[in-house]
Amino acid sequence: MNKKNYTFLARKSADIQINELKKVKKVFNNSFNKAVDLILKCKGKVIFAGIGKSGLVARKISATFSSVGIPSFFCDPAQALHGDMGQIEKRDVLVIFSYSGNTSELNNMLKYANRFRIKIIGVASKPDSVLLKASDVKLILPKVKEADPTGIVPTSSTSITLLLGDCLATTVMSQRNFSKEKFKVFHPGGNIGNSLLLAKDIMVTGPKMPVINYKRSFKEALKIMNQKKLGIIVLTKNKFITGLLTDGDLRRELNKISSHTNLQKFINKTPMTVNENMPASKALSIMNEKKITSLLVVSDKDANKRKKVLKGIIHIHFLLQTGIG
């Protein structure tokens, strides 16, 4: 086959799936509302289950629910037969995925849930399937065209199931007023966690900051700068920022400086400051753009004021060590 045809075939498969995914809107009905209400009112855990490709989808959706603060885990129906069923309690909600709805491995889990009156949200494409007959809430997936050459390999059917699960998760998130700040608590690691870090999460504060009264001598400023090892020193008057001196400034003016030199002659009187709630990634962009290595951090209320109180300092090394950028 000509290699140029590879991309044609890939686009063809993608186009089929994109068109089939639009059918998910048919599921957004009163049953979908009931499913959301059931999850929102759940006093226990939201447990996901499925076999094969549906099981992989269930695992992913369970992970999404957990990452937004909704207690959840995946229960393998095959393993459940050997003791894992004990993890499922009456106050839990069971969400079971099966495109056909007639997967035999689900039968014992369905019997267990019905016996102990555990609420079931069933997701399947056949209204008369075993799964949906046993479910308290029935989410009926539309029939879709698979995107492979034979038309039988789970492709579009898997994608639409995953999309429905994500829509269920995002709807629940919206109703629980979930925010980026909350997500950061449950997902502190990785690129996502780093992308949610704010300036106040990275900055040094208190005694770690190189700060000196604006009237002090060059000799005192140099001593503090060497001790704090940030390559800068911030001058303040009654806690308000009056200027910034960097080790670069000192090197450039070295011939003009004595131990008693007035610092006011060499400082930057309008140092760049950032809001404490600025994303750390944006702070790094500012540093790269301005070709500086440090930023002074101030509070929300001081951000637009002429006089600002220093809350912290961000150094580019802190950002890079955290993995930002």
Domain harbouring 97, CATH code:
3.40.50.10490
Q: Are residues 254 and 109 in the same domain?
A: no
* Two tokens, residue 161: 């199931």
What pLDDT does 2 receive? 58
CATH number of the domain that residue 264 is part of: 3.10.580.10
pLDDT band at 4 (very low <50, low <70, confident <90, very high): low
Q: Are residues 17 and 141 in the same domain?
A: yes
The CA–CA distances, whole Å, from 41 to 44, 175, 176, 213, 294 equal 9, 11, 11, 57, 48
Q: Are residues 268 and 142 in the same domain?
A: no
Q: Is pLDDT larger for residue 256 or for residue 39?
A: 39
What pLDDT does 79 receive? 83
8 within some domain: yes
What pLDDT does 182 receive? 57
Are the beta carbons of 38 and 121 closer than 8 angstroms? yes
- Domain range enclosing 44: 4-178
| Residue 14 scores a pLDDT above 70 | yes
The CA–CA distances, whole Å, from 65 to 81, 136, 166, 176, 310 equal 24, 20, 9, 12, 39
Beta-bridge partners for 123: 97, 139
Q: Are residues 116 and 203 in the same domain?
A: no
204 within some domain: yes
Q: Are residues 225 and 111 in the same domain?
A: no
pLDDT tens digits for 237-289?
888 998 888 887 777 766 666 656 666 667 788 888 999 988 888 888 888 88
Task: Mean pLDDT check: name the lowest of 156-160, 162-166, 201-205, 217-221.
Answer: 217-221
Q: Are residues 170 and 216 in the same domain?
A: no
DSSP class of residue 257 equals -
First to last CA, the chain: 42
Find tokens 């056909």 and name the residue. 100
Q: Are residues 16 and 111 in the same domain?
A: yes
Mean pLDDT of 212-224: 82
Mean pLDDT of 182-192: 54
Q: Are residues 131 and 227 in the same domain?
A: no
Are the beta carbons of 57 and 86 closer than 8 angstroms? no
What pLDDT does 178 receive? 67
Q: Are residues 53 and 155 in the same domain?
A: yes
Q: Are strands 232-237 and 240-246 parallel, antiparallel or unpaired?
A: antiparallel
Q: Are residues 147 and 260 in the same domain?
A: no
Which of residues 124, 147, 178 is at a domain's end?
A: 178
Q: Are residues 168 and 26 in the same domain?
A: yes
Domain total of the chain = 2
136 within some domain: yes
Q: Are residues 74 and 17 in the same domain?
A: yes
* Two tokens, residue 38: 């059931």
Are the beta carbons of 60 and 162 closer than 8 angstroms? yes
Task: Please state the pTM of the whole predicted model.
Answer: 0.67
104 within some domain: yes
Q: Write the single-letter amino acid at 78.
A: A
Q: Is pLDDT larger for residue 177 or for residue 47?
A: 47
